[in-house]
Structure 1
Amino acid sequence: MPPLSILDLSVVTSATKPATALRNSIDLARHADRLGYVRYWLAEHHNLSSVASPSPDLMIGQIAAVTERIRVGSGGVMLPNHAPLVVAERFKMLEALFPGRIDLGLGRAPGTDRATSYALRQRLLDRDGDDFLERLQELMLWETREFPAGHPFNNVVAMPDDTPLPPIWLLGSSDYSAQLSAQVGMGFAFAHHFASYDAVEALTHYRRHFQPSRWCATPRGILAIAVIVADTDEEAERLASSADLNRLRRDRGQYLPLPSPEEALAYPYTENERAAVTRNRSRLFVGSPATVLHKIQPLMSASEADEVMVITAVFDHEARKRSYSLLADAFGLAKAA
């Protein structure tokens, strides 16, 4: 079995306020550390009432401070929202404080709507189009110090200058992301849980075309999937009803807190809505440990993923912890830890 990791959105529910969701993330990270999960990543989203954390770097420091073994990182920092120097400084600081335990995952999207994106970037230089590659190159240059002769940044040092950047991962949900990750020679994490592009094609293309670099000598591919596990298939389905309604609402642009199973099960679905829920289930693996393993094994094998990263969004915090415990047992993590 491949190693297991966690992607956490600090999910806000109709009964869990954002501040509590953040504390739940810290509690879940401690739990994952004890279970033997490899890494724990925090996402960056803005202006979403369903996601409590807009600043993964702040959460990384809090979580790394209260865990012992697990790697902690961003899944990811949305680079369009930040000056590359700021990202370099913050993650070099984290690496200095928690050496060998930090990951820097980078995303190409702003992680929010257009108005919020403008509010995040309005003090930066105005640029048209996608400038992710330019920002990525600048971030790498803060580490390599290979700015052209005479460039003003040659007189600027990203502190602490005795600490390297942590390992860089590129995040994506498309063929372009796979191609770019392979070309620049970095780790690649594919977001199967919301991608429309085929995960197997993306990860196998990345592996076939990977070019070794100073950042990564060999390909490292992570398959990120949405999973809900319970002791029985019936209980898992009950828990997953919250995710079904939440996804239906998100597809309509309604980013509400995660509803309870009771609210979801009472929702009067139309025939078309039920068809949409069925389609969305292709991105969500639900069931008992044996059922979920049976469902995800073909995808893990075909994609040749080096690691599986799991996102579990359920209404009850203890049920979420239980889901990760059951999955850890199914993968043999508890014994390995």
Structure 2
Amino acid sequence: MLDVVPVWRGGSATAALRASVDLAVRVEALGYTRFWAAEHHNTPSLAASAPAVMAAQLATATSTMRIGSGGVLLPNHPPLVVAEQFGMLSAFHPGRVDLGVGRAAGTDPATATALRRVGHRTGEEFAAQIAELAGYFAGARSGPIDAGAAREHHPPIWLLGSSPSSAAVAARLGLRYAYAHHVNPAATQESLHLYRDTFQASAHLAEPTSLVSAVVIAADFDAEAERIARPYLLAKIQMRGTARFDAFPTQQEADAYTFSRQERELTQAFADRQIIGGPDTVGQKAADLVAASGAGELMALTITPEHADRVASYRLLAEVVGVPAPVLSPQSTPTAFTG
């Protein structure tokens, strides 16, 4: 699963971060195999700004899932710092860490400057950053620089993307590829097929390996799933009309809101391409997406105002796709989330 750590109207970033950790414990008990945290800056509605810090907290709270970044936005960070951070994570949690990286800054120009990002990274510059990052892991050295624990570990590196151009880069560099269907569903099949068709084996990976992430909101019935999806869909409308989106609307706001015809068409077109519905609908749409894309793994992004609805959605998805629950250690027993 993917978590962007949403902040709801009337809530706080602190509550959102704590809810994310609780959610990780609960989905691990449901048999989920991977939990990634995103990176956003100067975005009050999304509390995930430091993937390495978030991954450390998530990994400490869980014991079986792979934990990682979805992803580190590499233009914002020196590759050495990222290697040191994820090398340390791998030392504390060996065999459980993923390093997902993206090409975007994920923020506005002023914030990018505050992050010490200089200018726009070209494709070649990004490829050089990837090569430098990979070079710090598994015993390799970049000149006289020693990245500490990174030299003893090699967490899988995934390139995140939402277009054929990112697929081409992942294929050329021989990296794992994570496609954001929730961002650009129109190019999912083209991008993933291009990745597989043009993949070049590398020292990191012999065969193409991919996943596809989608919005998944499951409930007992289609109508209920559509209802609890309304706040997220309303948020997508509100995001279009403002440069600064401070918080996701509540269920009450969404229930009271009257969508215009154009807004209904826009949100319905998006929702139809995601995985929203009761068990039968979710099962069919999940199977269709995986079959059409050819991805080896489905990653679910579930954003609902009520924490209980979010947990229930992941539970229903696990039941629909037949995920076996793992044997957990005592530290992974879910505890009540109070916000």
TM over 0.5: yes
> Per-residue deviation at 1:285?
2.0
What secondary structure sits across from 1:64 in the alignment? helix
For residues 204 and 307 of structure 1, the distance between their equivalents in structure 2, rounded to whole angstroms, comes to: 14
Structure 1 runs of 4+ aligned residues shifted over 6 Å read 144-147
Unaligned runs of 5+ in 2: 328-339
Residue in 2 that maps onto 1:323: 313
Given residue 296 of structure 2, which amino acid in structure 1 is its aligned partner? D
Given residue 181 of structure 1, which amino acid in structure 2 is its aligned partner? A
What secondary structure sits across from 2:100 in the alignment? strand
> Per-residue deviation at 1:187?
0.6
Report if aligned partners of 1:60, 1:72 keep a CA contact under 8 Å in 2.
Answer: yes
Q: Does residue 1:65 correspond to 2:60, yes or no?
A: yes
Residue in 1 that maps onto 2:337: none
Instruction: Classify 1:161/1:275 alpha carbon distance in 2 versus 1 (closer, same or farther; 3 Å).
Output: closer
Residue in 2 that maps onto 1:305: 295
1:40 aligned to which of 25, 31, 35: 35
Report if aligned partners of 2:138, 2:153 keep a CA contact under 8 Å in 1.
Answer: no
Report if aligned partners of 1:246, 1:256 keep a CA contact under 8 Å in 2.
Answer: no
Report if aligned partners of 1:174, 1:197 keep a CA contact under 8 Å in 2.
Answer: no
Shifted more, 304-313 versus 245-254: the winner is: 245-254
RMSD after superposition: 1.8
Instruction: Classify 1:160/1:267 alpha carbon distance in 2 versus 1 (closer, same or farther; 3 Å).
Output: same
Shifted more, 90-99 versus 138-147: the winner is: 138-147
TM-score of the two chains, using structure 2 as the length reference: 0.91
Residue in 1 that maps onto 2:229: 240
Q: Does residue 1:77 correspond to 2:72, yes or no?
A: yes
Instruction: Classify 1:38/1:313 alpha carbon distance in 2 versus 1 (closer, same or farther; 3 Å).
Output: same
Unaligned runs of 5+ in 1: 1-5, 148-152
Count of residue pairs brought into register by the alignment:
324
Residue in 2 that maps onto 1:155: 144
Q: Does residue 1:224 correspond to 2:213, yes or no?
A: yes
Residue in 2 that maps onto 1:150: none
For residues 162 and 336 of structure 1, the distance between their equivalents in structure 2, rounded to whole angstroms, comes to: 31
Query: Percent sequence identity over matched residues?
Result: 41
> Per-residue deviation at 1:284?
2.8
Instruction: Classify 1:197/1:145 alpha carbon distance in 2 versus 1 (closer, same or farther; 3 Å).
Output: farther
Given residue 134 of structure 1, which amino acid in structure 2 is its aligned partner? A
Q: Does residue 1:7 correspond to 2:2, yes or no?
A: yes
Q: Does residue 1:260 correspond to 2:250, yes or no?
A: yes
Q: Does residue 1:177 correspond to 2:166, yes or no?
A: yes
For residues 325 and 155 of structure 2, the distance between their equivalents in structure 1, rounded to whole angstroms, comes to: 28
> Per-residue deviation at 1:310?
0.3
Report if aligned partners of 2:91, 2:149 keep a CA contact under 8 Å in 1.
Answer: yes
For residues 60 and 138 of structure 2, the distance between their equivalents in structure 1, rounded to whole angstroms, comes to: 28
Report if aligned partners of 1:200, 1:299 keep a CA contact under 8 Å in 2.
Answer: no
Report if aligned partners of 2:232, 2:304 keep a CA contact under 8 Å in 1.
Answer: yes
Given residue 291 of structure 2, which amino acid in structure 1 is its aligned partner? S
Residue in 2 that maps onto 1:113: 108
Report if aligned partners of 2:29, 2:325 keep a CA contact under 8 Å in 1.
Answer: no
